[in-house]
Structure 1
């Protein structure tokens, strides 16, 4: 959606973790000693931006610390600070003194229990609209409240002490690059995905929920949303594209598109994101959930999430400034990789080659390409999991930002069967990409998948439509942006049997998504075409076709499924630009799209939804989607 350019980033203080307590420079010090535990192991150094909380700490002290971080991060959209706020097992807050926390940019809040019930927050954990006008008092929206995470705890909603409107819900007003996972929400008031208490217009454009249990959920102004393998008591309304996959209590989609629900009884392929936890004696470990097929509901309802536990001692704990050579040596020796919060300059590929390796980022850890590098490569071997990592393009063009398969000839081929790969697929969870924004970015392709049996469980692949690069030519600097922040292709999939649950791809200069493999499955696709082509000639294929589809399946593919897809147009640099089709797929019986749409956001035109079918989205239909219920028609 069109945004006002955010203010410049701020310099932020450092946070140090030591001896189980937290010292925060420039923030209220957490000096209350942690309650003693028998034979507690030596503290683990998780980096300068990790805050570890304990239930023995006073509520006010915790609030002051966490909410001060949130206040520093409220306008830090293009900043470099990354934060991880971790809660040890126990109960935080009470009816008499509820704990109420805010979450800002590049921040994760996560419980350290083995199950969500091990960490209980009596109070609220919230994200509000960001106000972009008049010194932060008007134009309040959630369209760019990106990069924040909430996971692995029980939330007993209590707005005690807040005003009447704020008490009416726990507000999680977010958009892309956000996830809610392993959350158990309790209480009589709803969990709202829209902040309706801050001055409007209150738009929102997220998001993602998985492995969570809710009572009432208010969708509000959320344009699109995926809820996967969860439980909901109720779900109110929808805007354009709301998808439920494997959700107990999900609403019916029989009246699509009024409301615009898409409901799958089960999820074709799933694997929950790995999570950090502490055991009884206080030792850190990572739980790596097992892959599932035809999944439904939460994984923790009857006990521990199925999977394996990897002690933290089996990880190389990386910090910004560690060389790629050191990281690769640790990976080659058999270590897993934990990326503590921060920005990592990567001048050559981090190579993940061993089956079953886990790469887990904390606090939106970010790999930035240097000198045209490919920051991360993953070999075609089973069981590799990459989670919680953001990959940024650098100023020199990279051929790709994350390469899965086909990078190390011979590695894995012949050693593993197709059944091995299917049982333990390579998995990308909450892996995000950015081209431009905080600095000039250039890549040919962001994500390339050349391996079979890969699961992409929530990604946002973003060529930035706004930033702090200082562009001036064109509308909001778009002409400069088009010629400087270059990214031709968002995602290429050549592997067979690849599944994506929550695929968000935006603003690339030619193909946003190209799918060439067989038997691909996508559950929710969201795309905005680029805002910034200077002219129609810049947004035209060599054969004269007007524009590129947001979603392309190669002509020779015979089997492919998509459930719930949207392509949006806002050609603000030249509103006369036309795109022929939002979706382009082969006419084959095994290629089926269900519940797809295009929508006009104020500039530009999309002539048809898919393959010449579906009504035009133009200035006469602004904000009103053009739907195709099924293609091909039954």
Structure 2
């Protein structure tokens, strides 16, 4: 049924179909953002990985005969899955198979139809054997056939082995996007310090697995240890079981998640705590695609454990049989179903899900697809169709030439779904030469000198003690931490200040209070800041604060935001309730967050256990999408926890002077385990005005230990030993 295509001729080489192909390719190139300038394909052999399936372009059964099916199959680095690209003319290439370089990817019967199957055939110069590589950035391409103008395609975006690939009208979907990964990786990795582990596809699976297991054994229950790790996978495909423990960030080094495909699992379990995931903190999985063994994966976590910029080709469970207590899924695609199980509260932002099942107290969805509609409180789903203003977290990646860069995503407004679904995330790439790489042993003076010289910071995993404040003064500075890099201020200094300038990005850092009280840990903008940064806001991504737990820590206020238009993209601000140095008079801390700036937007805000107000919001135009709070566990008695004549302090205080504020999906819980007779008068305190609005609120008395009398002001509630859970749909 197959026939050898005729030799090239002037007519075939300049056919109408070829012109259409060139036109289609040009259109695709025109649509690509500026960072995705054309990059050269590898000069040697490469694997070609489909973004929708994570499977490799494969010659069936490693055959080399004419008519051999070109299919997708689980990547195995065999010769049948290694391809080279030989230029023909006008930017087109033939795609040669390693096992017989005279055999190329060919459209059967010189067809121009959709779904025409692909095969191997001896190269004869036919237009149906030539493909235009359309650069998608970061080593990803579409391939447009010269004869038909149609794209190399995984039919119906199948994830199955042995699916024969076809050509299909170009549509920009993941089914037509292929990551091209050189078989021989570049050895010229920069020195990122002793706690960064980089894998590439040329390494054996056993070597990779052994290193992963070694890190996990050390970090599985290492809740307050000083070890920190960033585990990074270069573009390509891996067979691995990646179990993510404390202070471990696992990330792919591609421009999109589909550049790195893991066959196996990237998961967080709670075996160390008998299935109870309520202390699975401080970890992250980012920028990877996963083909889960058995069809599903698990991310059983609580606070400070982002599942970000991930593509899971299967189902996702958010618990491990016992309780789990809060998490953050952002800029991710889950092809299957997310099952929240016993997860108590969760935020899903700018993601695309196959479906969602499960609920408990407070499930919030913002700017996401495939999620439930609002039905709070039964079930307690709160859905906001669009995210008003977002910037995704900056990330490290390796470009097509093997050079490390940091990608800084653009601001998006009124957005839904992921930033990378089209294969071309919008933003700017910064070469590593513009970064000062902070490694263990660095001093605050050295870091400040780099900032003063106009450099960005790439902070590698470690714990860094600061004897002076880190001062970020230049607009658009990027401070990117890897592996939960931790700053500890000594002698009562503020750990970091940010000037009232445009576009600073702070990401991936843990600020841990020192033993001498700091008035603040981080200040964004000085007191009195008033400049508008609407066009280029400062943003904080996966920025965590801790007062006590690892040791005695003291800080009056953890984070003060004075600048306008700041975006908070997942923060856990925690006065420790367990660990070392914990007690009412030990790890003293008044307030977690104070917002003085106008038009500040927070997504995924977790603030817990502070001794006065948890959050104080003084600026106008504020917005919060998901708030999770536990009041302090440890007031020794009511007299020790009074706000004047009011019992206790609210979890979320909007100042009386505020005229506009919006908050969606707020939960506040009490567990007064030192003295269960303690009462909080209210969870939320706010002016009763039409433009200060709250949607979907819940209070819980955990085990009936203590009382929250009202949800907002004197409305709603109580939560106590009789009625544990109280819901309020709207206020006012």
What TM-score bracket applies, with the shorter chain setting the length? 0.7 to 0.9
- SS for the counterpart of 1:63 is helix
Cα deviation per residue 1:562-588 (whole Å; 9 max; x = unaligned)? 000001000001000011001001011
Cα distance in 1 for residues equivalent to 2:189 and 2:631: 48
Q: Indicate the residue corresponding to 1:309 in structure 2.
A: 429
**5+ long unaligned stretches in structure 1:** 1-33, 94-98, 133-138, 160-167, 197-201, 472-480
The yes-or-no answer on 1:440 pairing with 2:541 is: no
Partner of residue 259 from structure 1, selected from 379, 383, 389: 379
Cα distance in 2 for residues equivalent to 1:231 and 1:458: 18
Partner of residue 152 from structure 1, selected from 259, 265, 287: 287
Partner of residue 124 from structure 1, selected from 265, 269, 272: 265
Confirm or deny: 8 A CA contact 1:92 1:122 kept in the other structure: yes
Confirm or deny: 8 A CA contact 1:130 1:145 kept in the other structure: no
Q: Indicate the residue corresponding to 2:305 in structure 1.
A: 178
- SS for the counterpart of 1:203 is coil
Q: Indicate the residue corresponding to 2:461 in structure 1.
A: 341
Q: Indicate the residue corresponding to 1:113 in structure 2.
A: 254
Structure 1 residue 283: Cα displacement: 0.5
Partner of residue 540 from structure 2, selected from 428, 434, 437: 428
The yes-or-no answer on 1:465 pairing with 2:577 is: yes
Cα distance in 2 for residues equivalent to 1:221 and 1:264: 23
Aligned ranges 1:576-587 → 2 under 5 Å: 576-587=677-688
Structure 1 residue 302: Cα displacement: 1.1
Cα distance in 2 for residues equivalent to 1:177 and 1:535: 30
Q: Indicate the residue corresponding to 1:191 in structure 2.
A: 316
The yes-or-no answer on 1:382 pairing with 2:506 is: no
Cα distance in 2 for residues equivalent to 1:521 and 1:130: 37
TM-score (norm 2): 0.74
- SS for the counterpart of 1:331 is helix
Cα deviation per residue 1:253-301 (whole Å; 9 max; x = unaligned)? 1x32111000000011111000100011210000000111111001111
Confirm or deny: 8 A CA contact 1:173 1:194 kept in the other structure: yes
Q: Indicate the residue corresponding to 1:69 in structure 2.
A: 215
Cα deviation per residue 1:184-210 (whole Å; 9 max; x = unaligned)? 1113xx2111113xxxxx100020011
- Whose radius of gyration is greater, 1 or 2? 2
Q: Indicate the residue corresponding to 1:57 in structure 2.
A: 203
Cα distance in 2 for residues equivalent to 1:269 and 1:320: 35
Cα distance in 2 for residues equivalent to 1:293 and 1:591: 22
The yes-or-no answer on 1:597 pairing with 2:698 is: yes
Structure 1 residue 169: Cα displacement: 3.0
Q: Indicate the residue corresponding to 2:63 in structure 1.
A: none
The yes-or-no answer on 1:47 pairing with 2:193 is: yes
Deviates more, 1:121-130 or 1:305-314: 121-130
- SS for the counterpart of 1:328 is helix
Q: Indicate the residue corresponding to 1:268 in structure 2.
A: 388
TM-score (norm 1): 0.85
Cα distance in 2 for residues equivalent to 1:41 and 1:578: 61
- SS for the counterpart of 2:648 is coil
Cα deviation per residue 1:346-373 (whole Å; 9 max; x = unaligned)? 1111100000000000000000111101
Structure 1 residue 130: Cα displacement: 4.3
Structure 1 residue 37: Cα displacement: 4.5
Closer, same or farther: CA 281–538 of 1 in aligned 2, 3 Å: same
Partner of residue 321 from structure 1, selected from 441, 461, 465: 441
Cα distance in 1 for residues equivalent to 2:417 and 2:652: 29
Confirm or deny: 8 A CA contact 1:462 1:507 kept in the other structure: yes
Deviates more, 1:57-66 or 1:237-246: 57-66
Aligned ranges 1:219-618 → 2 under 5 Å: 219-253=340-374, 255-406=375-526, 418=532, 421-469=533-581, 481-542=583-644, 544-602=645-703, 603-618=705-720
Deviates more, 1:206-215 or 1:511-520: 206-215
Cα distance in 2 for residues equivalent to 1:262 and 1:274: 28
Confirm or deny: 8 A CA contact 1:457 1:500 kept in the other structure: yes
Confirm or deny: 8 A CA contact 1:146 1:176 kept in the other structure: yes
Cα deviation per residue 1:410-460 (whole Å; 9 max; x = unaligned)? xx97xxx62xx1011000000000000010000110000011110001000
Q: Please, what is the CA RMSD of the aligned residues? A: 1.5
Moved over 3 A (4+): 34-38
Aligned residues: 550
**5+ long unaligned stretches in structure 2:** 1-180
Cα deviation per residue 1:29-70 (whole Å; 9 max; x = unaligned)? xxxxx98758x4732011111110111222222112112211
Structure 1 residue 74: Cα displacement: 1.2
Confirm or deny: 8 A CA contact 1:41 1:281 kept in the other structure: no
Structure 1 residue 148: Cα displacement: 0.6
